[in-house]
Structure 1
Amino acid sequence: MWLVLTGAIATSLVLIGWSFWFSPAHASGRTYRVLSVPGNVIWGELFKPDSPPILRVQSGDRLIMNTVSHEGILPDQGDTTEFLTAGGIKREDILPDQIRVKAEVPKSGPGPHVITGPIYVEGAEPGDVLEIKTLALNYRSPYGVISNRHGRGSLPGEYPENNAPIYTKVIPIERSRDVGIFKPSNGLPDLEIPLKPFMGLMGIVPANVEEAVNSVPPGNYGGNVDIKDLGVGSSLYLPVQVPGALFYAGDPHCAQGNGEVALTAIECSLTPTFELVLHKDMTLDTPMGEIEDAWIAIGLDRDLDEAMKKSVREYLRIVNEKYGLTKPDALLYASAAIDFEVSQVVDIVKGIHTLIPKESFKALQAE
C-alpha cells in the first residue's frame, strides 16, 4: 500500500519519519517519495514479473527514491557498526536504513545489492521503451566503501593478497569539497578521489525469470550496468519486457573508474530523483544512454570481445538512425574519432560503452 500526501503535511511526515511506518511510498502531486524500508527492498536478486509493485505511476511522474548501499552490511564485513567505526565513521553518522536492512531483510539471492522497488508504470507494455531520467543525486551518509574479494574483481586469485577473503576500505566523504578520502594502509599521506555520483543499478523486470535470480549481471533490462556517465542529467533507455515495466534501482556509487577493477566503486547510499517517461513510438533491443552532449552505445556480454562488438553495432545503429550516416562510413569514422570504454569487467556480464558526441555530427541532418 501507499499513502498520498500533499504539501507541508507530506514534508513534515517525511522529516519526522511517520511515513516510515504509514506507507512504503507516498506522493505529493506527481512527485513520489519512495523509502528504503524493509517492505520496499530486496537483497541479492532482481524483482520478477509477479513481484507486487509498491507504487503505480504515470509517465512523466517523478520519484525521490531512497537507496541503500550493500557495502558495510555484507556478512564478510562483520558487525556494521564495528566495521564502519573502525574505519573512522562516527556511530551517529551510520545510516539507520543500513542497520535495519541487515537486521530485517533476508538475503534472498546470490548478489550483494539492496534494490528499491518495483514501480509500476501505467500503460507500459512489452515493446515500449522506458526512459529513466536522473534529475538529482543526494548523499545519505558521509562515507562509502571500496572492496576487493577473493575470486572476484579483475585479478581473481592474485588479489586480495595471501588468499585473504576480502580487502576493504572505508572512505570518508567530504561533501563540502566533493571528495572521498582514501587512506593508504602503509602510512602514506591521504589521497583524494573526486566524487561523481551515479546509480550503478537501474532496471526493469526481465521477462525471463532466470535472469532475475542474481542482481549482479546486467542485461537488456538494464540492471547493474555500472556506467559512470549515467549521473545527474543523464537518461537510460530500456526496452520494456513486462506489463508496467516494474522499475527499480540500487547499487549507489559516489565514484567509479572505468573497469571497476577491484570489484566495487566507492559504494555509498544515495537518494536519486528520477523522472520516468514512457515512449510508445520508440523501439530498442538493448539499453541506450544519453547525456546532454552525447549518446551512449552499450554492449553487454560475458565475453568482453563480444561486448565490444555489441557496443560497436549499437554505435552504428545510433549514428545511422539519428544522423543518416551509412554504417560502413560510421565504422570508418569511429576508427579515427570515437573512443570505446570498458564499463566494468566484474559483473559476470561485462560491459563496453562509447560516448557518441552530438557535436561531432552537427553537420549532418538528423532524422
Structure 2
Amino acid sequence: MLTGPVFVTGAEPGDALEVKVLSIDLPIAYGYNGCSGFIRENCIAGRGPTILRLDRKNMTSEFLPGIVIPLRPFFGSMGVAPPLAVGRVSSNPPSTHAGNLDNKELVAGTTLWIPVHVTGALFEIGDGHAAQGDGEVDQTAIETSLRGRVQLTVRKGMTLMWPRAETDTHFISMGTDVDLTVATRVAIQEMVDFLAATKKMDKHQAYQLTSLAGDVAITQLVDGTMGVHVKMPKSIFK
C-alpha cells in the first residue's frame, strides 16, 4: 500500500528531491511473510503466510523458538513519478525514480535523494517493512503497517541520474536493472562518480577506493528489476 502522490511545490525536472526519514513507528504488533520470489520451489504449496508477532519494546520478532530477528523498520517504497517518456509504470519495479527500492538501509535517520522527472515530483511512500535481509529472496519482508514522518526538500542544482542515500555511518549508491550485472555496474559507477565529485580524488582513485573499502550488496532480486547498492563507510574520511 502506498501513500501519494504528493505534489512538491517548486520541484522541477533536473532537481533532486531530498527525503529525510525523521521517524518510523510500528503501530501494530504483527506482520507477515509470504513465500515466493527467487527460488519459489522451496515453498510448500498450500501453506499460507507466516504471521509474526512484533515485540515493539525490545524491537525483535521470534521467527521460530530460539530464532529472534531484530527489527529495523523502513519503507520499502519511496519514490517520485518516472520520466514522462516512460509513460505509465507499475509500482513494483524500481528505477531511476526510486520507488520500490526495498533497501533495508533506509531506516529512520537516513536521507534519500531522488532525481525529479516531472513538475511537482509526485512523491509516494509505503510498503512497510519491519525487518528484511539483503536480497528479499522470498519476495517479502516482515510486511506490516508503518507510521512515519519525512521531510521533503527540493535541491536545485543537485543533478542525479540515480537515487542516492546517506546514513549516520555510510554513503550509499544504487542501481537497478533486469540484468543483475548491469545493476551492479550502475551502483559501482554511481559510487565512483560520487567520490570523484565530493572527496578530492579522480575516478581512478575513486574506483580503487570502492574496491578497498566499499561493500557491494544485492538489495533485492524479486521486484522485476533487480537492485544493487554500494555502501562506503564515512569513518574512513578524516
Q: What TM-score does the superposition give when structure 1 sets the normalisation length?
A: 0.63
Query: Within 2, Cα distance between the matches of 1:226 and 1:336?
Result: 26
2:127 corresponding residue in structure 1: 251
Letter of the 1:234 counterpart = T
Aligned partner (choices 142, 146, 149) of residue 273 of structure 1:
149
2:82 corresponding residue in structure 1: 206
2:95 corresponding residue in structure 1: 219
The reply to whether residue 321 of structure 1 matches residue 205 of structure 2 is no
Residue-by-residue CA offset, 1:177-232 (whole Å, 9 max, x unaligned)? 1111213xxxxx25211000011100111124756431110011110001111111
Alignment check: 8 A CA contact 1:146 1:168 kept: yes
The reply to whether residue 178 of structure 1 matches residue 59 of structure 2 is yes
- In the superposition, relative to structure 1, how do residues 212 and 249 fare at CA in structure 2: closer, same or farther (>3 Å)? farther
Query: Within 1, Cα distance between the matches of 2:152 and 2:24?
Result: 15
The reply to whether residue 191 of structure 1 matches residue 101 of structure 2 is no
Where does the alignment leave 5 or more consecutive residues of structure 1 unmatched? Answer: 1-113, 184-188, 363-367
Residue-by-residue CA offset, 1:150-196 (whole Å, 9 max, x unaligned)? xxx1213x2313xx26652000011111111213xxxxx25211000
The reply to whether residue 119 of structure 1 matches residue 119 of structure 2 is no
1:358 corresponding residue in structure 2: 234
2:43 corresponding residue in structure 1: 160
Query: Within 2, Cα distance between the matches of 1:356 and 1:279?
Result: 23
Larger RCO (CA within 8 A; separation ≥ 6):
2
Identity %: 39
Residue-by-residue CA offset, 1:291-329 (whole Å, 9 max, x unaligned)? 122211101111111111001100100100010211112
Give the aligned CA root-mean-square deviation in angstroms. 1.5
Query: Within 2, Cα distance between the matches of 1:117 and 1:338?
Result: 34
The reply to whether residue 338 of structure 1 matches residue 214 of structure 2 is yes
Specify which structure has the higher proportion of helix. Answer: 1
Where does the alignment leave 5 or more consecutive residues of structure 2 unmatched? Answer: none
- Runs of 4+ with deviation above 3 angstroms: 208-213
Alignment check: 8 A CA contact 1:160 1:167 kept: no
Letter of the 1:206 counterpart = P
Alignment check: 8 A CA contact 1:125 1:241 kept: yes
Letter of the 1:160 counterpart = C
Query: Within 1, Cα distance between the matches of 2:54 and 2:7?
Result: 34
Letter of the 2:55 counterpart = E
Query: Within 2, Cα distance between the matches of 1:320 and 1:250?
Result: 33
Letter of the 1:202 counterpart = M
Q: What TM-score does the superposition give when structure 2 sets the normalisation length?
A: 0.95
Alignment check: 8 A CA contact 1:205 1:212 kept: no
The reply to whether residue 132 of structure 1 matches residue 24 of structure 2 is no
The secondary structure found in structure 2 opposite 1:259 is: coil
- In the superposition, relative to structure 1, how do residues 255 and 238 fare at CA in structure 2: closer, same or farther (>3 Å)? same
Residue-by-residue CA offset, 1:41-80 (whole Å, 9 max, x unaligned)? xxxxxxxxxxxxxxxxxxxxxxxxxxxxxxxxxxxxxxxx
1:264 corresponding residue in structure 2: 140
Query: Within 2, Cα distance between the matches of 1:211 and 1:115?
Result: 19
Letter of the 2:51 counterpart = V
Query: Within 1, Cα distance between the matches of 2:87 and 2:72?
Result: 29
Query: Within 2, Cα distance between the matches of 1:209 and 1:328?
Result: 34
